[in-house]
Amino acid sequence: MNTMRSICAVAALFLLVLASTPAAALDGNEVLSRVDAVQSASKGSVGSVTMTLVDKGGQTKERTMKVWRRHYKDKDDWSVLKFISPAEIRNLGFLSLADDQMYLYLPAFDRVRRIASHARKESFAGSDLSNDDLSTGKYSSHYDAQITKEAGSDYVLELKRRPKSERIYPRVVAWVNRQDFTVSRMELYDEGNRLWKSSEIVNEKIQGYWTPMQIKMTDVTKNHTTVMKISKIEYDTNIEDSIFTERYLKRSVKGD
């Protein structure tokens, strides 16, 4: 009987210690994978976006576009972007598929060209976003991450580009909310480890999904900013496969 009591006491002590032990902390790559999961949580979306370019003197230019996205849990997302206005870039389009396949439609020449590796750094339509910034490849496929510190409610992640990746930023610092794994701020560095761009992101929950309702991208080397703001978005709509094709990229689209 005494032996049985001893066994029960040891078991109870073990359970008490186990219950009081904190859950294993996440490492940087696990946090980055959760960021990807949040960004690809829905089946897909259709949205209207306003792009505002702000030069160093404060002068602005406004553009509108429509964006279709299809999300996948286990591979890269797909997206199509088509400008609605102004007239000089109307119908210019961008298509991003899995494995870093990216295509640009130039309506003035009525042709689609695939974006080569050397063109990933090029500005997209005069904005502070590069072609590479519009890639839908998941961060965890291209970067290794380490948590460098915790600042307030955020993890601060240090992302280092993997050797075989073609992403244009060798180093990225990201502020990730510890509760919902949304990203609120990023610093993007060039090959010389100089700060190239910074990004500020405002997230809201729409239809149950965390959504980057506003992205402010600043090229610190040019003192120029681009603000992308979602004016309308609808999730889990039935988006046909034909939308994510070069043929559709050449079609004229209408705004809402």
pLDDT digits (tens, 9 = 90+) for 103-130: 999 999 999 999 998 999 999 999 999 9
Distance CA 102, CA 78 (A): 10
pTM of model > 0.85: yes
The reported pLDDT for the residue numbered 254 is 77
Whether residue 12 lies inside any domain: the answer is no
Cα angle for residues 103, 119, 81 (degrees, 5° grid): 35
- At residue 25, the pLDDT reads 83
211 occurs within a structural domain: yes
Is the pLDDT at 19 greater than 50? The verdict is: no
**What letter would DSSP give residue 244?**
S
Q: How many CB atoms lie within 10 A of CB 179?
A: 8
Residue 150 pLDDT > 70: yes
**Domain-embedded: residue 222:** yes
What is the spatial distance between Cα 15 and Cα 252, in angstroms, rounded to a whole number?
A: 65
How many distinct structural domains can be found in the chain?
1
Span 152-174, average pLDDT: 96
Which pLDDT tens digit goes with each residue over 62-90? 999 999 999 998 889 999 999 999 999 99
Q: How far apart are CA 110 and CA 2, in angstroms?
A: 88
Structural domain contains residue 14:
no
238 is in which domain, residue-wise?
Answer: 25-249
Residue 7 falls inside a structural domain:
no
Q: Do the domain assignments include residue 255?
A: no
Q: How confident is the model at residue 98 (pLDDT cuts 50, 70, 90)?
A: confident
Quote the CA–CA distance of 121 and 83 in Å, as a whole number. 20
Residues with Cβ within 8 Å of residue 197, at least 6 apart in sequence: 128, 187, 188, 217, 218, 219, 220
| pLDDT of res. 18 | 44
| pLDDT at 5 exceeding the cut of 70 | no
User: Per the domain annotation, does 129 fall within a domain?
Assistant: yes
Residue 110 near residue 250, CB atoms below 8 Å: yes
User: What CATH number is attached to the domain comprising 125?
Assistant: 2.50.20.10
254 in a structural domain: no
Q: What is the DSSP letter of 86?
A: S
| Cis amide leading into 107 (omega within 30) | no
Phi-psi region of 193 (alpha: psi -120 to 50; beta: other; left: phi over 0): left
